[in-house]
Amino acid sequence: MHLFKISSSLVLVASLISITCAAQSIKIVGNVDMASTTIDRNIYGHFAEHLGRCIYGGIYVGEDNKKIPHTDGIRNDVVAALKELKVANLRWPGGCFADTYQWKNGIGPKESRPSMINSWWGGVTEDNSFGTHEFLDLCEKIGAEPYMAANVGSGTVQDMSDWITYVNHPGGSPMSELRKKNGREKPWNIKLWGVGNEAWGCGGNMTAEYYSNVYKQYATFMNDYGDSAKIFKIASGATDDSYDWTETLLKNIPGKQVHALALHHYSVISWTNKGPATNFDQGLYASTMFEASKMEEMVTRHSTIMDQYDPEKKIALFVDEWGGWYDVEKGTNPGFLYQQNTMRDAMIAGLTLNIFNNHAERVRGANLAQIVNVLQAVILTNEEKMILTPTYHVMKMYNVHQDAKLIPLQFQSPDYVFENKKMKAVSVSASKAASGDVNVSLTNIDYSKTHEVEIDLRGETLTKASAQILTSAKITDHNTFESPNMVKNVPYKDITFVNGKLKLKLPPFSVVVVNLKK
């Protein structure tokens, strides 16, 4: 076993490398003075759907709860953790749920709000106690920009228009006066609006041609109310490699009517047999990472199509659903999509965020699915207990890239190969913050090999370097309510920085973020 020193207190992490697996060297060249493209902070968005225990029990416990500390029903511990994460935007209320949601049932006195059946997720009763005001209150508490998904599948243009007026109109209209009656004097000025969700599937099973016309109808009635409430319209885009969907929308929808196209891609090995979240072998791990690595090709190819119709890159690509998807934990409701979160998920997060950063010219928004207790969650809760997942720690390490300038890098990654699966082992992205700091994020998805890295940063005089690492002894390691800190990021001291050149080692399945200062 090879040991790596990762903190000044001599904390050591076993790296799972056989001494026969020699480290491979990678040289990375970065031109700091050529950093120009901004990494939009909205890439670091999250997703909260009325699904399982994401909202109820995860975010919202009710105003009368005496057991779990809260403010107006919203968990204090979750709010504190999400503030630390710097959540850029939060997408709500779905997902598939969005196209069954009637927003007017979720406002006003809670005792007067009608219930509904959540037909998509578990067939449970939704009492609408968490609605528009509660969601926007959450966003204000954590400092996230709201991203509202409008009901196109079962709603009407009038429903959506009324909702926009309710949250954005300053006063004098029936909807703005209703908002004031319900306790909110000033408008929220919500900018991010999704026009339906997965229109090709649960959002209506539409063709791209049909949805294009529906989109244009809805977009026509999405009114701006002053410069502070300019709406950013996001069309329901493609799933995975459905490139024809992207091209059809761009052919049929005028550029002035759309500001972004969505894209959904999950790292799932099979929709009929997804595999376990924790008890998996290298074969399942490699298959999952192979699916995650496809994000690079999908973003590239969808962007290429967009370049043909929008060469000035005015229209953004929003990957507003991404993450790992496995079988639910034993004993839980299959419709609740509750799964544990291991080092494998940390690898998905590090790899994916590097891809988004490096495509910052076109990718200007993304949403990890989902924020609490569902799919690749950053937080898991159990009654009054809360834990942070490996994915949480990766996203916290990476938030230094928000609104920083992308530094162009040149390097060649070795491959990670297992049986018939081959993919790049190491992904890297780098940026220069407004403060002048340079941050480099590296993810090694290799199951068993350490990779030595030399980074040559040119065009800037940098003199100080520090780093953090997230790794563990086993790829299946994860945090539990009994052992909440098994996996977490710690200072990494096994680096050298001399004359502008940084050298470090990337253990198997590890994430490292290096901060450099003048």
**Nearest CA-CA partner of 34 in 403, 459, 435:** 459
Strands 363-369 and 45-47: parallel
- Rounded Cα distance between 505 and 507, Å, is 6
Strands 89-92 and 74-75: unpaired
Q: Which of 126, 134, 291, 321 is catalytic?
A: 321
**Nearest CA-CA partner of 504 in 18, 13, 27:** 27
Question: Within 10 Å of residue 511's Cβ, how many Cβ atoms?
Answer: 30
**Nearest CA-CA partner of 86 in 367, 400, 321:** 400
- Rounded Cα distance between 265 and 275, Å, is 17
Phi, psi angles (nearest 5°) of residue 37:
-75, 130
Query: Which amino acid would we find at residue 233?
Result: K
Active site residue 321: yes
- Rounded Cα distance between 475 and 418, Å, is 15
**Nearest CA-CA partner of 255 in 201, 306, 187:** 306
Q: How far is CA 13 from CA 66, 331, 486, in A?
A: 41, 33, 12
Residues 6+ apart with CB under 8 A from 200: 206, 207, 208, 211, 236, 238, 239, 242, 245
Torsion angle, CA of 95/101/104/108, rounded to 10 degrees? -70
Q: Which two tokens stand for residue 312?
A: 């000035």
Find the helix or strand (DSSP H, E) in which 181 lies: helix 174-181
- Rounded Cα distance between 378 and 380, Å, is 7
Residues 6+ apart with CB under 8 A from 442: 350, 426, 427, 428, 453, 506, 511, 512, 513, 514
Q: Which of 49, 134, 198, 296 is catalytic?
A: 198
Find the helix or strand (DSSP H, E) in which 28 lies: strand 24-31
Active site residue 198: yes
Residues 6+ apart with CB under 8 A from 344: 280, 285, 288, 289, 324, 475, 476, 509
* CA geometry: angle 238, 244, 246, nearest 5 deg: 45
* Active-site amino acid positions: 198, 321
